Amino acid sequence: MELANLSVLLVWGAATALAVALIAFSIDLSRLSGARVEARDKTRERVAVGAGGVVDAPQDGTPANGAPGPVDRRFAGVGMSVTWLAAALLLVAVVLRGIAAGRTPWANMYEFTVVGAFVAVAVFAIVSTRRDVRFLGAFVTFLGTIFLVTAQTRFFVEATGVQPALQKYWLVIHVGVAILATGIFTVAFVTSVLQLLRDARDNGSPVLGSARWGWLDHTPAPAALESLSFRLNAVAFVLWTFTIIGGAIWAEDAWGRYWGWDPKEVWSFIVWVVYAAYLHARTTRGWSGTRAAWFVVAGYACVLFNFTGVNLIFNGKHSYSGL
C-alpha cells in the first residue's frame, strides 16, 4: 500500500476514534446530568421527611444541599484514552503524508485541516495531563471529527509537490506556526462557549436550567473557564503575531514586498486585531464574563473565515487550497 493511501486510512481511523470519544464523553455528560437530578430528588425527599426540621447530611456522599456529589467518570476516562489514540493516528498520518509528498505536509487546505485538527486534539490531551478538562472533551472531539470528515470529503487532494513559491523553509515556519495557533484558538473557543453556557445556567436561563443540562454544574465556574480561555488565547495570539511577521518576511523574499493587501494578509491582520482588542479589553479595561467570551467567539469566527472563505471565495497570491 502506498504511503499516501495509508495516510488517508489513518485519518479516517482518527476520525472514527474521535467519534467514539465523542460518544464516550457525551455519555459521561449524560451521567453527570443524571447524578444532578438524583441528588436534587434525594434532597427533596429528605426535606419532605424532615417536615422543615434540620436535615442531616446524607451518608451516600451526596451533599445535603443537592449539589452534585462524586460520580463515576469511567466513560470520561474511555474518552480520554481514545482521544490519545486519535492524536497518535493523526500524527502518523501527517508524517506519512509528508513522506509521500516529499515536503512539509501543510501546503494546502486538506493538509492544514488535518494538521489543525491534530493540534487541537493534542492541545486538549496535553492540557488534560495538568488539569481536569474532561468537560471539554465532547466539544473538542466533535469539532475534530467535523474537521477531519470535511477534510476527507471536501478538501482532499493528492499528495504531490508544491509550486516554486512554496518551496521555502518558510513553509515549515510560517504555516506551521499558523496551524499551531489555530489549534490553540480552537480549544480556547470551546472553553469560551462552555463559559457562556455555564454563565447562562447560573443566571437562571429557562432552557439551560433544565435537568438535561445538569452536567454544567460539574464544570468549573465561569471565572475559571474564562481564565483558561484567556491563557490559551494569549499563547495563540503570540504565535499568530509571529505568523504575520514571518509571512511578511516571506512575502518580501518571494514577491519583493512585505505587505500587498492580499485577501489572506488582510484577514490575517483582522484576526490579529480582534484578538489584540480582546486581550487589551480584558487586561486593561476590565472586560470579563460574557463580553470577553463573545469576543473570543467573534475572533474564532474570523479565524474560520480566514481559512475557508478567503481560500475558496477570493483569488490572491495565497490561493493555495489545491482545489
| 131 and 24 housed in the same domain | yes
b/e sequence 75-103, b meaning 16+ C-beta within 10 Å: bbebbbebbbbbbbbbbbbbebbbebbeb
Report how far residue 144's alpha carbon sits from residue 153's, in angstroms, rounded to the nearest whole number: 14
Q: Does a structural domain hold residue 58?
A: no
φ/ψ bin of 308: left (φ > 0), alpha (ψ from -120 to 50), beta (otherwise): alpha
pLDDT value of residue 316: 66
Do 185 and 144 fall within a single domain? no
Does one domain contain both 142 and 229?
no
User: For residues 109 and 148, what is the distance between their CA atoms, to the nearest angstrom?
Assistant: 11
In a domain, 68, yes or no: no
Set of cell numbers at residue 21: 470519544
Q: Which of 162, 184, 215 is the last residue of a domain?
A: 162
Instruction: Examine the domain organization and report whether 82 and 221 are in the same domain.
Output: no
> Considering 143, 162, 181, which residue would you say is the last residue of a domain?
162
In a domain? residue 64: no
* pLDDT value of residue 308: 86
DSSP annotation of 174 reads I
Given this model, what pLDDT does residue 288 score?
A: 85
Number of other residues whose CB lies within 10 A of the CB of residue 306: 20
- The reply to whether 114 and 191 lie within a common domain is no
Considering the domain architecture, whether residues 11 and 147 belong to the same structural domain is answered as yes
Q: Which domain holds residue 84?
A: 1-51+74-162
Q: Are residues 149 and 169 in the same domain?
A: no
* Number of folded domains that form the chain: 2
| CA end-to-end distance (rounded Å), the chain | 25
Which pLDDT value is given to residue 107? 85
Residue ending a domain, choose from 134, 162, 190? 162
DSSP H or E segment with residue 161: none
Confirm whether 322 is domain-assigned: no
In this prediction, residue 36 carries a pLDDT of 57
> Residue 317: exposed, middle, or buried by beta-carbon count in 10 A (0-12, 13-18, 19+)?
middle
Check residue 66 and give left, alpha or beta (phi > 0: left; psi -120 to 50: alpha).
left
pLDDT truncated to tens, each residue of the chain (323 aa)?
A: 689 999 999 999 999 999 999 999 999 998 887 765 555 545 444 544 454 544 443 333 344 444 445 677 899 999 999 999 999 999 999 999 999 998 889 888 999 999 999 999 999 999 999 999 999 999 999 999 999 999 999 999 998 887 776 677 888 888 899 999 999 999 999 999 999 999 999 988 888 878 778 888 888 999 999 999 999 999 999 999 999 999 999 888 877 888 888 888 999 999 999 999 999 999 887 888 899 999 999 999 999 999 888 888 877 666 665 55
195 plus 255 within the same structural domain: yes
Helices (H), the chain: 3-50, 74-101, 109-128, 137-153, 170, 176-202, 222-255, 263-284, 290-307, 309-313
**Taking a C-beta distance cutoff of 8 angstroms, is the pair 76, 222 a contact?**
no
Distances (CA, A) of 114 to 93, 94, 139, 182, 231: 9, 8, 17, 12, 24
Residues 122 and 112 in one domain: yes
